[in-house]
Structure 1
Amino acid sequence: MNLASLAAHPSRSRGRRFTEPDSGPRGPRDAFQRDRDRIVHSGAFRRLRHKTQVFIAPDGDHFRVRLTHSIEVAQIGRTMARVLGLNEDLTEALSLAHDLGHPPFGHGGEEALQQSLADVGGFDHNAHTLRLVTALEGVYPEFDGLNLSWETLEGLAKHNGPVVSPSWALAEADSDFGLDLATWPGLEAQVAAIADDIAYDNHDIDDGLRSGILILDELLEVPIVARHWAAIGQRHPSLSTDRRQRALVRDMIGTMVGDVLDETRARVAAAGVTTIDDVRLAGRQLAGFSPAVGAEERELKRFLYARLYNSAALTPIRIEAQRIVADLAAAYRDGVAPLPPGWQRGEGEVARLRGIGDFIAGMTDRFAIAQHERLIGPVTLPDRF
């Protein structure tokens, strides 16, 4: 792998919280490749198969879940990293792990868990990702967590930029293995973050159209969509609507990726950065959309929030999902349902309540539904969404 000077080099990693011997049957992998593989083999990664992306518990159909979304982010991020001469393995590790901390039912479930634990610091899925990989995963005999390299932890902690006021979970991870939260992360983390935006913008269009919640004629009022739709029609005038929709998603991803590559090169050149430390101290995001495409992408996001995420079809489902999470939190808090052994986090009430948060956050959609039906009462969710 021919890495650029401002890429993360595994041979120059700041290391791991717990030193590990190089001996043993580890295979020919460098530090970031091991990080990626530890993430892929983790229980938290497997649970993403049954966690909401947009639609709840979508067994039996083609809607995306957190797992498939994470794989798609990794594909886009890895492609951009390769073109820019960045470390593909680190980019892939960050892309695959970025959603590990999501509780059941997506952002709706997160809002409910945040409210249920507000008196003990609340809940944040980004911070919980760090908590998972540094403390909760328990598969190694020598340490808790996955003992990922510093660069991977840094990227997970601040892939959206510097963190001025970390939540309690992120502050704990930072105090244990300082992550320089006030600076920008390396370019691999920035690329993974923009790959996340590209993936969910376009794949949520695909799922929204497939579900029937998004109306194609309304979507075509969004300029970036209309432009690509027209271009596909000119190239393939007899293409069916269904295939044209698939081509739309592919072409828009390609346009956004190309724009990010051009803009990132221009920002790097203008900033005069030549090392990863220069990137961290640049004082601004270096990987991102150009002003023109960025404005179009924000307009697309506004459309998706109005017509998909906050649509009349999904709102009652989100409310029911939030009720499930809130009811479970209340039942465990009040002692109506005891936590399974091993979920008490140290001494005291704060530790007990945060252990409840850890347990609920680790649930899949279907496990949360089953627990609610067993402990509290029936759940009303449509099979389709």
Structure 2
Amino acid sequence: MTAFPGLAARPDRSLGRLHPEDDDGPRGPRDAFQRDRDRIVHSASFRRLRSKTQVFVAPDGDHFRVRLTHSLEVAQIGRTMARALGLNEDLTEALCLAHDLGHPPFGHAGEDALSAALADAGGFDHNGHTLRVVTLIERPYPNFAGLNLTRDMLDGLAKHNGPVGALGWALAEAAAGAGVALDEWPGLEAQVAAIADDIAYDNHDIDDGLRAGILELDELLEVPLVARLWRAIERRHPGLERERMVKALVRDGIGTMVADVLGETRRRVAEAGAETAADVRGAGRALAGFSEAMAAEERALKAFLYAKLYDSPPLRPVRDEAQRVIANLAGAYRADPALLPDGWARGESETDRLRGIADFIAGMTDRYAIARHEELVGPVTLPEKF
């Protein structure tokens, strides 16, 4: 199988870090990108992902995925593809592990509520907040704020979905400080991390949706990609019980999408004549991605999941209550900043003060947000199952 090691990011040619570091103290035999990965894994923000919503609210359902398990699954898929393509596995893994650090409690519902509550301070965007987390909010080191990740890592986090046009304030601020060129395509490691995210949640949300009883298998089998995979499993394993069929479906969905991305990425790289990482950045388009046929099938699957799972009637009360919690917390802290813990009521301007409130709320886990709401505002009523 064709690999492209010449397109890989190299730790010995890293773009460097924002703050100079000395090598005093024990460091271990790790290169720059391995250190980036380890700094993510050891961060408090990464640990808190274990209690943040993926689809279902984190306090309930031991077998449902949360942001932490999702991030680990993305990293496994991303690293597999990076290895097959000869890319830097450590940088790819680090980008996958860090991609959701900026999510507030209650997933996208919480993000929408927080953005609305702080619209007069520029709103809130989880991608921009991820950069804010790793460059400012995490503070494990004595001489600087942030995790001091490599610029390669910051570039990949800022642009994992491609060049950025309309900038939210947080991303603009963090990218400017990091010296990231937002109008270029990122390296292949970041492109692979982005597609690994899609592959993970496309397939694992099927698993969680069926487990929760929200998705109906008969309706799911009307989706062309799912139907094709299901029929192939039936041919290979006639008479297999439904539960194991579903596990095979999820596994085959991931494998089918990964194989498609690898084949299409090799085709695009050859077509572009890319031979170096600089060629990837200057290609003018994504070089990692689904083929045209798979992209169409994947869009149909996403449309189904949005209609039947993410916006389903059983989850609407959860979303509504989660948004009420976030809106009320933002309102309470705005009305009385003294309610914030020490160190969070910061900033000289009103905008800075409100952004500090957003920083604090965004760092909460689902459980902590619920507890603070019950302490400051009143009871929270969430459907027990979800």
- The answer to whether the Cα contact below 8 Å between 1:16 and 1:147 also exists between their aligned partners in 2 is yes
1:382 corresponds in structure 2 to 383
Q: Give the direction of change, closer, same or farther, for the CA distance of 1:3–1:279 in structure 2 (3 Å limit).
A: closer
Secondary structure, in 3 states, of the residue corresponding to 1:103? coil
Size of the aligned set, in residue pairs, is 384
2:319 corresponds in structure 1 to 318
**What TM-score do you get using the length of structure 1 for normalisation?**
0.98
Q: How does 1:117-156 map to 2 (within 5 A)?
A: 117-156=118-157
**What TM-score do you get using the length of structure 2 for normalisation?**
0.98
- The answer to whether the Cα contact below 8 Å between 2:37 and 2:94 also exists between their aligned partners in 1 is yes
2:176 corresponds in structure 1 to 175
Q: Deviations over 1:240-267 (max 9, x none)?
A: 0000000000001000000000000000
2:250 matched to 1:233?
no
Q: How does 1:21-100 map to 2 (within 5 A)?
A: 21-100=22-101
Secondary structure, in 3 states, of the residue corresponding to 1:5? helix
Aligned partner of 1:299: which letter?
A
1:163 corresponds in structure 2 to 164
Which consecutive segments of 4 or more residues in structure 1 shift more than 4 A? none
Q: CA deviation at 1:348?
A: 1.5
In the alignment, the residues of structure 2 paired with residue 261 and residue 373 of structure 1 have an alpha-carbon distance, to the nearest angstrom, of 49
Aligned partner of 2:99: which letter?
H
- The answer to whether the Cα contact below 8 Å between 1:36 and 1:89 also exists between their aligned partners in 2 is yes
Q: Deviations over 1:326-356 (max 9, x none)?
A: 0000000111762111113421111110000
Aligned partner of 1:18: which letter?
H
Q: CA deviation at 1:23?
A: 3.8
Aligned partner of 2:125: which letter?
D
In the alignment, the residues of structure 1 paired with residue 24 and residue 242 of structure 2 have an alpha-carbon distance, to the nearest angstrom, of 57
- The answer to whether the Cα contact below 8 Å between 1:259 and 1:290 also exists between their aligned partners in 2 is yes
Q: Deviations over 1:2-37 (max 9, x none)?
A: 971111000000100001123420000000000000
2:222 matched to 1:221?
yes
1:19 corresponds in structure 2 to 20
Q: CA deviation at 1:110?
A: 0.1
Does 19-28 or 303-312 show the bigger shift? Answer: 19-28
In the alignment, the residues of structure 2 paired with residue 188 and residue 40 of structure 1 have an alpha-carbon distance, to the nearest angstrom, of 18
Secondary structure, in 3 states, of the residue corresponding to 1:185? coil
Q: Give the direction of change, closer, same or farther, for the CA distance of 1:229–1:332 in structure 2 (3 Å limit).
A: same
In the alignment, the residues of structure 2 paired with residue 358 and residue 369 of structure 1 have an alpha-carbon distance, to the nearest angstrom, of 17
In the alignment, the residues of structure 2 paired with residue 175 and residue 345 of structure 1 have an alpha-carbon distance, to the nearest angstrom, of 22
In the alignment, the residues of structure 2 paired with residue 173 and residue 290 of structure 1 have an alpha-carbon distance, to the nearest angstrom, of 33
Q: CA deviation at 1:142?
A: 1.1
In the alignment, the residues of structure 2 paired with residue 336 and residue 281 of structure 1 have an alpha-carbon distance, to the nearest angstrom, of 47
2:352 matched to 1:355?
no
- The answer to whether the Cα contact below 8 Å between 1:220 and 1:226 also exists between their aligned partners in 2 is yes
Q: CA deviation at 1:322?
A: 0.2
1:192 corresponds in structure 2 to 193
Q: CA deviation at 1:173?
A: 1.1
- The answer to whether the Cα contact below 8 Å between 2:317 and 2:382 also exists between their aligned partners in 1 is no
Q: CA deviation at 1:164?
A: 1.5
In the alignment, the residues of structure 1 paired with residue 287 and residue 13 of structure 2 have an alpha-carbon distance, to the nearest angstrom, of 22
- The answer to whether the Cα contact below 8 Å between 2:135 and 2:147 also exists between their aligned partners in 1 is yes
Identity %: 72
In the alignment, the residues of structure 2 paired with residue 346 and residue 369 of structure 1 have an alpha-carbon distance, to the nearest angstrom, of 26
- The answer to whether the Cα contact below 8 Å between 2:207 and 2:250 also exists between their aligned partners in 1 is yes
